[in-house]
Chains A and B, each alone.
Chain A
Amino acid sequence: MAIIERPTPADTISLRMPVTPAQSMGIVRRPVTSTGWKSWVFTVDHKKIGIMYGVFAMFFFIVGGVEALLIRLQLAAPDGKILSADLYNQMFTMHATTMIFLFAMPMAAAFANYFLPLQLGARDVAFPRLNALGLWLLVAGGLILNSSWFLGGAADGGWFMYSPNSGPVFSPSNGVDFWTIGVQIAGFGSLVSSINLIVTILNMRAPGMTLMKMPVFCWMIMVVQFLLVFSLPVITVALVLLTFQRSFGATFFDVAQGADPLLWQHLFWIFGHPEVYVLILPAFGIISEVLPTFSRKPLFGYPFVVFSGASIGLVGFGVWSHHMFATGLGPISVAAFSIATMAIAIPTGVKIFNWTLTMWGGKIWYSTAMKFAIGLIVLFTIGGLSGVTHAVAPSDTQQTDTYYIVAHFHYVLVGGMVFGLFSGFYYWWPKVFGKMLNEKLGGWNFWLMVIGMNMTFGPMHILGLQGQPRRMYVWTEARAGEGFFNFGFWNRVASLGSFILAIGILIFLINVVHTARKGKPAPLDPWDARTLEWITTSPPKEHNFDRIPVVHHLDEFFHRKYQENTTTGEMVQIATGAQLVQAEEDNADAHIHLPSPSYWPIAIAVGVGTLGLGVVYGVPIMIVGVLIILGSAFGFVLEPSVADDIDYDPPMSGGQDTKELAPLG
């Protein structure tokens, strides 16, 4: 067995042990327990943080989903009366914002946080407390964003919040203020966590794991984090400008002063387009793990997949203006961005071919995870192809801002991203919770989602090409047309489909509850998997690995289980997963040091949230916020990575003379 122990920090050695510090120490002691609510709120364990990200994201997935259903209800019939125009505008704005910033990104962060260290063979991320900080900032941002519903109405400018419609005159409620502040704080959280994850990937891989032996999931996460690091500051600038205009009377988007409304659009899309890849690439990463596992074959053309992912990321920075073909950019920029946009289809196509060919010659096991992965390939391809149709800029001027676009990006995001994440749920659930999700319910879940998704978003292609613009709170018979392709019929189909989709997702939730209550315990290696996260127990121990694995192959775990018979070329099993895990336990490292929990991350997040509210409600609150931030930031910096002995109850005597360092900061 491994011994988890705390090293003795140098500065406590000089301290003579106190007589009875326990009571009066109260508020200044560090949290140290590993059970109970405190162990979650103050944790720095990447697994707990990952699960909290997941719970948070799932909650907002449901919130965003309900918003979507209301939207579809409103549009099910002409002249819908379910929502007022004002409420409808808030609804679609918050649906998009919630789904992107509070579901998709956190859910990807959940997977990244949980599995990145496990797949890399690390004990934790590089900066565990920054990790917690990222989470709590996101929570603060999410709460601020959604609190606007109860404080005078949510933001109503559409998720890209074009100026000047988002200015103080055209959107006088506080909704947009909450939106800018919330997104800014959530974005800051993402920035913190992405820096952390990049450093983790670059510095904390297990011995022997070169970058080209790293699982594709990690690669995609790394690309995503780089995208975030370089795109988030741009949206921060845009949000700062908007906040300054709304709260302090700056003139950035005041056209009467000569301002250019396109500035916002450029800034927004320089962030917004990479953001699209931020959303989709983690799902690509997930299915790049799932497909090989269930095809029993390595990923076809690993380097191509990796480099196409990286080039998607890179080119993704150069295509933002294709969201602005109709804004009057001038033919030269339109042409340039049109061509660049087509270019980005190439690496995407490469990925699709590689996934398809991974299955070629395989031994395909149709588990639910695999079904979702295949679903992603098919649905994403549809989304990708409709994407090519509006890379052709003139054609795009007919399609942009219509339901065709809505169809396109929902195929990409629901068909692509959501299916990828669900694939990840089914694949990794046994790893995280030690229980198998029910495959039968999984089947229902998958098929209802496929049918619902195609029924919802398929007809939107037709609606768009028939000229139904997006963001309309009503459509009328007069413009609906007649015959097979009238708006009315297809709008009804779409609304019906959205409920089928919702039932599909509901079945997943039922499955989760069912599994938690009477799911069967998962074997150590249920899928005959290929990567390092399976080389430990399920759920993994607090310190992840009893022994840091040494890596020799891409798909290390698989190669420890199977060996090629050199004469026949057949793969022969030499060990089971359970045996390998046992072997690790038997040879556990003697001393393992883990960082201690901390108050400061959540304290900083509270401070940032207070500062944000201060921007809306007045300077005194801002000052309080700044003080909290200052204090907790310095507390954060001055805190040693492991708790002092006196933080324990009863106080422990510092002891074993070990020199091994806990992870950084």
Chain B
Amino acid sequence: MFTTGSKYYFGVAGLGSLGAVLYMVLVNPCDVGVLALLGIAIAMSLVGGVAQFTDDFDADTVSEAVTASASAPAKSMWPLLLALGGVLLLVGMTAKPIIFILGIVVIFAAGVEWALQSWAERASTDSAFNRFVRERALSSLELPLLAGGIVATIAVAFSRIMLAVSPQSGAILFIMIATAVLVVGFLVALKTNLKKSTIAATCVLGAVVLLVSGGIAGFSGNREELVVAAAEDHYSHKECEAASSEHFDKNSNNAVSMKSGISATIRVKDGKLTAQLIGIDTPVQVVTLARSNLTTILFRNLDDAQYRLVANLGTQKVGDTGVEEEIVDCTQMTGKDQTQALILKISKPSASSGPYTLTVPGLEGQEIAVVVP
């Protein structure tokens, strides 16, 4: 009959042809994919034929020669896994690239395992020794990779679920999952008379639930807020209006960790805007800043109202279009007795596209002039 090895090859060949037909019907009859699949199918049937003919990769023939005491070679799940990998590969081709990659990984792993197993099985006639050889060659890689795979699977599945549900229910779900794991753990630990199969069933059930819901969540996509957030990118631009902005000013940060290198401190006190410079005692209304220098300006609000500091730094051309766009930078809304910093780098002198000013929306008519020589 067919040997183990050639069974696999013929299987793959069959699957390949099937996939090619499906591909032709469903996707595009003149695609590279079809050619590739057909190629695989042909190649595999050839190899399978050779394998069948030479009896290679057939552990049975070897084991037959072994004395009766030696046990038959271990049952192998690798052919099955290989085929599964092939299916994943095909599905991945039409559906999602991630599945395609998964297929490659599975095929690779199963191939290596199988090759080594069959190699080890021919190492000697002693099956115990063969197992030993196999383990020595593989266990150091098998264990961590398997473990890594488990972590990755749980992490990915779990995070997909969390991404799909709302933050509140996510937290609750998280607690529930953790509690479930704990409870099962304690139950198993306390009730020693539980059947092994029950435990196994529970574990498998848990895993399946996690994987399936993870898969569903993954396909259904992220929750709406996140999708919207990703599309709108709230924080990529600053909103420098007088009114508080929903995102830019959310939980605004009113303390400054930068203490070195302050070029000027701008204050609002009793509705008046003034600037203070190092080395000069009196408040000033004109600030001189060096060109192209990183300049840190502190904004300190001493009034009850919320204010933000806005730097108006002239205009610049947008690309080659000739359209002039204003350069504006600003702090977040700053509450009473709070400080925020503004880091500026002004590359053009104020003579070119000025005048430059520092203003506070809400305090109209007041400004600090910025001179960049």
Contact = CB atoms under 8 A, between A and B. Distances in A.
A–B direct contact (CB < 8 Å) = yes
Interface string A8-28: 000000011111110011011
Contacts of B145: 630
Interface in A1-53: 15-21, 24-25, 27-28
Contact of B126 (A16, A256, A630, A635): A16
A256 B345 CA distance: 8
B144 A630 contact: yes
Interface in A216-256: 255-256
Contacts of A152: none
B123 A21 contact: yes
A28 B128 contact: no
B144 to A, nearest CB: 5
B343 A16 contact: no
B269 interface: no
Nearest to B141: A631
B129 A21 contact: yes
Contact of A16 (B122, B129, B137, B144): B129
Given A16-B129, A328-B260, A638-B139, A24 B124 contact: yes
A262 to B, nearest CB: 8
A429 B159 CA distance: 61
Contact of A18 (B124, B141, B260): B124
A20 B124 contact: yes
A353 interface: no
Contacts of A627: 141
B136 A634 contact: no
Interface in B43-94: none
B174 interface: no
B124 to A, nearest CB: 5
B119 interface: yes
Contacts of A632: 140
Contact of A24 (B123, B141, B260, B345): B123
A630 B123 contact: no
Contacts of A25: 123, 133
Given A19-B124, A21-B133, A258 B343 contact: yes
A625 to B, nearest CB: 14
B294 A28 contact: no
B97 interface: no
A256 B129 contact: no
A24 B137 CA distance: 12
Q: Max chain A CB contacts within 10 Å: which of B129, B140, B141, B341?
A: B140
A637 B296 CA distance: 53
Main secondary structure of the interface of A (DSSP, over half): helix
B206 interface: no
A633 B123 CA distance: 25
B125 interface: yes
Interface in B271-322: 294, 296
Given A15-B129, A28-B133, A631 B140 contact: yes
A469 B144 CA distance: 53
Interface string B101-133: 000000000000000000100111110110011
A292 B144 CA distance: 53
B148 interface: yes
Given A16-B129, A18-B126, A255-B294, A634 B260 contact: no
A176 to B, nearest CB: 23
A621 B352 CA distance: 50
B148 A630 contact: yes
Contacts of B341: 258
B140 A27 contact: no
Given A27-B137, A28-B133, A634 B128 contact: no
Q: Max chain A CB contacts within 10 Å: which of B124, B139, B341?
A: B124
Contacts of B137: 27-28
Given A18-B129, A255-B294, A258-B343, A28 B258 contact: no
Interface in B344-369: 345
Q: Max chain A CB contacts within 10 Å: which of B122, B128, B136?
A: B136
Interface in B133-151: 133, 136-137, 139-141, 143-145, 148
A241 B345 CA distance: 25
Contacts of B133: 21, 24-25, 28
A26 to B, nearest CB: 10
Q: Max chain B CB contacts within 10 Å: which of A15, A20, A28?
A: A28
A637 B126 CA distance: 26
Nearest to A258: B343
A635 B143 CA distance: 10
Interface string B326-349: 000000000000000101010000
A18 B143 CA distance: 26
A17 B144 CA distance: 29
Q: Max chain A CB contacts within 10 Å: which of B133, B137, B139?
A: B133
Interface string B233-256: 000000000000000000000000
Given A24-B123, A24-B124, A634 B143 contact: yes
Nearest to A24: B123
B81 to A, nearest CB: 19
A635 B136 CA distance: 8
A634 B140 contact: yes
Contacts of B126: 16, 18-19
Given A632-B140, A634-B143, A258 B128 contact: no
Interface string A628-665: 00111111111000000000000000000000000000
Interface string A503-536: 0000000000000000000000000000000000
Contacts of B143: 634, 638
Given A630-B145, A631-B141, A16 B124 contact: no
Contacts of A17: 129
A15 B124 CA distance: 13
B119 A630 contact: no
A17 B132 CA distance: 11
A16 B128 contact: yes
Contacts of B125: 19
A258 B258 contact: yes
Nearest to A255: B294
B119 A24 contact: yes
A637 B123 CA distance: 25
Contacts of A636: 140
Contacts of B132: 15
Contacts of A633: 144
Nearest to A257: B343
A101 B349 CA distance: 48
B113 to A, nearest CB: 14
A635 B123 contact: no
Contacts of B258: 258
Nearest to A634: B140
A606 to B, nearest CB: 15
B75 to A, nearest CB: 22
B140 A24 contact: no
A258 B345 CA distance: 11
Given A258-B343, A630-B148, A28 B136 contact: yes
Contacts of B345: 256
B318 to A, nearest CB: 21
Nearest to A647: B136
Contact of B124 (A21, A27, A634): A21
Given A631-B141, A636-B140, A637-B140, 9 more contacts: A18-B123, A18-B129, A19-B125, A24-B122, A256-B345, A631-B140, A632-B140, A634-B141, A638-B139
29 contacts: A15-B128, A16-B126, A16-B129, A17-B129, A18-B124, A19-B126, A21-B123, A21-B129, A24-B119, A24-B124, A24-B133, A25-B123, A28-B133, A255-B294, A256-B294, A258-B258, A258-B296, A260-B260, A328-B260, A627-B141, A630-B148, A631-B140, A631-B141, A632-B140, A633-B144, A634-B139, A634-B144, A637-B140, A638-B139
Interface of B: 119, 122-126, 128-129, 132-133, 136-137, 139-141, 143-145, 148, 258, 260, 294, 296, 341, 343, 345
List 3 tightest A-B contacts by C-beta distance, closest first: A635-B140, A18-B129, A631-B141
